Structure 1
Amino acid sequence: MAVAPFSARYWSEVETISAARARAIQDERLREQLAHLAANSAFYRAKFAAHGVDPAAVRGVDDLAALPFTEKQELRDSLAQSPPLGAHVAVPDAEIVQIQASSGTTGSPSYVALTASDIVTWCELGARALYANGFRPGDRLLHGFGMSKGFVGGLPIVQILQYMGIVDIPIGAEAGAERLLRVQADQRPNALIGTPNFLVHLAEQAPRIVGRPARDLGVRTISVGGEPGGGSPAIRGKLEALWGATAREMLGGTDIACTYWGECEVGDGMHFLSPDLMIAELIDPDTGDRVDPVAGAHGELVYTALRRRASPLLRFRTRDHVVVTGTDCACGRTGYKVRCVGRTDDMLIVRGINVFPSAIKDLVLELAPRTTGEMRVRPDFEGHSTQHPLPLVVEYADGLDEAARSQLRADIEQRVRSALNVKTVVELVPDGTLKRPDHVKVALIER
């Protein structure tokens, strides 16, 4: 059954509560969650014992910093050693009603168990994010995330939309551009969801496939996630111009929930919307120390689930690297705002300078129409660090002669050097050389 929003502006009143009220709720629910872990999770009982932690002594969020992180590899090991759902599953099998899998982009998929109440929690988290993005009860939506592989962009998005009273047309990115665009032309849903690069690609194919530009196909609002780029002015501008719609960004991840950060109509970052259902910490990825979430701060997101039954996680390191874009907003939401600039484990170190491939892509996009915007980093070294210039492959647009290509190559190298203090060696290739996005996330690093 669909749930009604709190008001015309907010899905939940929690989105506007004070920091003091949010902290009081978190302190109480953290104690409850830790008691559940201590009683029911063999994984966390062992972890607490190994680190000398008394979970009953934790009184609130301020005590979290003394507790150990949970690493992705620990979950992989747990799944391998205690199949099928790992030693961190914390309910009897009879309570489990759904199992989701991560996309597996950083290794074997993670498998996450859900109880009926966990699904409601996931739906509430997602509803707040998608409502902030501009989705409303009564909308009809074309589903452009992948629907296969048990990925959270599939069924859990359907469940969130149904919870919100939105009609989902679950075609999925695997069906391909032709199928998706023909359904869009026939049904004219007014909302669209998917990864930013795939939805740009989809719009670019519309004139060829349905004989009309994407902006004539009836889309009002777009929500993007699953990869960096939705917050890039160049990619967002392209999305909005091609579709004639607003484009907003959201962020999530399988291990905690489907989606739980959402960008509002102000459009300058994704709000943290659910202090009652999870704790989000910002840390220095090198030292593990907490970073205050003030405007301009950079760090890695770490999550602790609240009100979670089947596979709850404590201080889970996401490796998502974000920058805080603000701590207040004209929309009235009180959660701070972030942009995701990449995954910490995607970061490259070039002569001591940290660089994310997504930052390079933003610079390449700014050189359109001379480039198509498609680029890849092709490291010629092992690991993440090099003392040599970074090899880039960039597509040039049709019609550029040899002199224009030579100038473009120099401009890209100069622009990256000036903006990021990183030296590159650029190889230009013709339009269409690099693989276009589909239901698999775009990998900007090719080894």
Structure 2
Amino acid sequence: MQFGMRFRRQDAADKLNDRFWHEIEGKPLDEVRRSQEERLRDQMAYLKANSTFYQEKFAAAGVDFDEIHTVEDLQKLPYTYKTEIRESLAAEPPFGKHRAAPMAEIVQMQASSGTTGSPSYVALTEADAEMWHEMTARCFFANGVRPGDMVLHAFSLAKGFVGGIPVMQGLQYMGAIDVPVGADGGADRLLRACADTRPRCIVGAPNFVLHLAEKAPEVLGCEASELGVEHVIVGGEPGGGIPAIRAKIEAAWGAKCAEMLGGTDLGVTYWAECDAQSGMHMVNMDYIITELLDPESGQIIPWGKGAEGEMVYTAIGRQASPLVRFRSGDYIEVIDTECSCGRTGAKIRCTGRTDDMLIVRGANVFPSAINSVITEMVPETNGVMRIVADFEGHTTQGALTVIVERGPGRDPADDAALKKKIEQRLRDSLVFKADVHLVAADTFEKPGAAKVAFVLRKYPDLP
């Protein structure tokens, strides 16, 4: 494929009635394994020649690139953690010490939401970008999108997130037409675009697409189910795989709901649910090797039905920002290893994160990151805060309530200005909407031997 102004894969229309977007999705697993291991050896040779980050990391672990031939050999290698990537980015901005391609070959960059600190910037070469388009197309095809479809874009299109421009690029690549309003455009504009363009599909966060459906009668004077949408494709937060939420989405839109899963570090999306709606398949086994880690035992476990663990990813065929044995933090259950659709990749449900992340209107938010912002605002604040997560699960479409102690001696009459300042700082730093409540210094018990619980499940009784 030639890049530049050619967005659409030349044979996209020919795939309209195909069973899979790519034949690898239905290949026997022994054939997939052979392809993975050939590409793994090539990736190790590439890293040996081009990655200072992994040269140093593997040397410290006493392992040589030439020792890695099979998927099992990956267990000789150390894990790569998100904290290491942040340190790498800080050491050599903008793309970090782990950048393994010349700057002259970088054609695109994307950013994570930065909820654990500063955003992580990911670099792409032309080959990497094409890989991302291909991976994304496979997922959307499994989810029900077809060449020629109009797709309403209800993920955020702002701030460099992979749910924005890369999703649009993947849809264009597969021959679909992206309606690029984005969640940032607001519910009214999205719904009016939906009424005007009559898209066959909508993509967005599950709670947000539910919110759109609830707003439709007010904005359009009709139910969302009257807009002709056939497929609602959701990701970016838990919900699509939760039966009660899925049922609400399908009833509200009169459409089939399918889920996808991915992330900035390895691509846009790499897991996708098929028409059976019984779990997400790995449809990109030739681009990513996925291990399943039991966090309690620290052992890699087989991909058997009912197995649970954290997914560990190794990119194969990646140039600019390659990762080896990356701890994703996504905790999953293997639903099955067979499917009526014919795809051979295991089917999973993501049951949550291995950390304490909250999701506020589609933005991933860590309590420790909020605490860091509040601490940075001493002496205006006392550096003490509590989050009130008075909603079910870890996801909310509302503003997140954050109770903050004002600095000692500060006049409560100045609270309105301080509240606005803190809310803006949180929005700028962590990309979410907060509702800050200011209280007197020393309202909360001083930290002691016990771990401080930043998150409260109900609003506390305050003096």
> Which amino acid counterpart does residue 264 of structure 2 have in structure 1?
T
**Structure 1 stretch 130-139 or stretch 283-292: which is displaced more?**
283-292
Q: Which of residues 241, 244, 247 in structure 2 aligns to 1:234?
A: 244
Aligned to 1:139: 149
Identity between Structure 1 and Structure 2 (%): 53
The Cα of 1:393 is off from its aligned counterpart by 2.4
Q: Distance in 2 between matches of 1:172 and 1:392?
A: 26
Superposition pairs of residues 221-370 of structure 1, within 5 angstroms: 221-346=231-356
Q: Distance in 2 between matches of 1:228 and 1:185?
A: 27
Aligned to 1:435: 399
> Which amino acid counterpart does residue 59 of structure 1 have in structure 2?
H
The Cα of 1:277 is off from its aligned counterpart by 1.1
Query: Which contiguous aligned blocks of 4+ residues in structure 1 show a shift greater than 3 angstroms?
Result: 376-379, 432-436, 438-443
Q: Which of residues 4, 19, 23 in structure 1 aligns to 2:29?
A: 19
Deviations 1:128-187 (A, max 9, x none): 111110000000011000000000000100110011000001111011101111111111
Aligned to 1:88: 98
Q: Distance in 2 between matches of 1:210 and 1:137?
A: 28
The Cα of 1:341 is off from its aligned counterpart by 0.9
The Cα of 1:320 is off from its aligned counterpart by 0.4
The Cα of 1:38 is off from its aligned counterpart by 1.2
Deviations 1:359-393 (A, max 9, x none): xxxxxxxxxxxxxxxxx9999xx9xxxxxxxx862
> Which amino acid counterpart does residue 390 of structure 2 have in structure 1?
V
Q: Which of residues 61, 65, 81 in structure 1 aligns to 2:71?
A: 61
Name the SS of the counterpart of 1:300 in structure 2: strand
Aligned to 2:390: 393
Change (3 A) 1:123 1:434: closer
Name the SS of the counterpart of 2:330 in structure 1: strand
Change (3 A) 1:442 1:139: farther
- Structure 1 unpaired stretches of 5+: 348-356, 359-375, 383-390, 396-415, 417-431
Deviations 1:95-132 (A, max 9, x none): 00001001223332110000111011111111111111
Change (3 A) 1:137 1:343: same
Deviations 1:238-260 (A, max 9, x none): 11100111010000000000001
Name the SS of the counterpart of 1:189 in structure 2: coil
Q: Distance in 1 between matches of 2:389 and 2:122?
A: 37
CA contact (8 A) 1:146 1:440 kept: no
**Structure 1 stretch 6-15 or stretch 36-45: which is displaced more?**
6-15
The Cα of 1:442 is off from its aligned counterpart by 10
Deviations 1:311-346 (A, max 9, x none): 010000000000110000011110100001111012
- Structure 2 unpaired stretches of 5+: 1-7, 360-364, 372-387, 401-426, 435-453, 457-463
Change (3 A) 1:377 1:95: closer
CA contact (8 A) 1:377 1:392 kept: no
Q: Distance in 2 between matches of 1:131 and 1:433?
A: 28
Superposition pairs of residues 42-61 of structure 1, within 5 angstroms: 42-61=52-71
Equivalenced residue count is 376
Change (3 A) 1:392 1:150: closer
Q: If the length of structure 2 is used for normalisation, what is the TM-score?
A: 0.77
